[in-house]
Amino acid sequence: MSLATLREQVVEANLDLVKRGLVLATFGNASGIDRELGLIVIKPSGVPYEDLKADHLAVTDLHGTVLEGSLRPSSDLPTHAALYRAFPMIGGIAHTHSAYATSWAQARKPIPCLGTTHADHFHGAIPVTEVMSDEEIAGEYEANTGVAIIRAFEKIDPLKVPAVLVANHGPFAWGLGARQASETAWMLEAVARMAYLTMQINSSPDSVSKALHDRHFLRKHGKNAYYGQPRS
């Protein structure tokens, strides 16, 4: 993939977040990475989405050093960079302040898998990070946010559960590319809303069975997936 193509994909991923109602004002961002070149492309900080163009994007290395672009990159760049370094299989990241997923993050509660919509996309509950210490917040806050996310995945496969809730902050989601990360953020918001509504009807619902959870996830993911049409 050319860097120009990656830039266009990252612009579209950011605009997808807007189209799907996942961002407030300029809050939120999406990025993508070229693994061969070791380059991250990310939305600039505070630029209105309606004005966003490919040449506005910042290009950085894996440690967040800006290599191209005249605009300041997203303030969440150190979080993205930490995740790209820790999870070498992902190719895109999206961060939003979508209402329902953010509400679960503020409640510091993981989102349980209560049905097959969740199971189709996430092979487990959506984890929530530990609360960051005052020292972590006062220090390299955004980089330490990445560290908190990485800690939450010590026993979780980030491709099977491609999203997280940062305690008192909001969701991060990822995928094999930037636009897939944006779609994951969309699915995350949907299951967050469904879980909330389910718990208004039944305050103590049972999680979906392992058999049903596995069946729905594995029919869409992995070598034996059979949902949809074969890819050439």
Provide the annotated active-site residues. 120, 227
Residue 129 and residue 214: Cα distance in Å, rounded?
24
Residue 31 and residue 173: Cα distance in Å, rounded?
11
* Residue 43 contacts residue 52 (beta carbons within 8 Å): yes
Handedness of CA 79, 80, 85, 88 (dihedral sign): positive
Long-range contact list for 62-70, CB < 8 A, 24+ apart?
Answer: 62/38, 64/40, 67/39, 69/44
The contacts of residue 223 (CB under 8 Å, 6+ apart) are none
* Residue 74 contacts residue 42 (beta carbons within 8 Å): yes
Residue 29 and residue 14: Cα distance in Å, rounded?
6
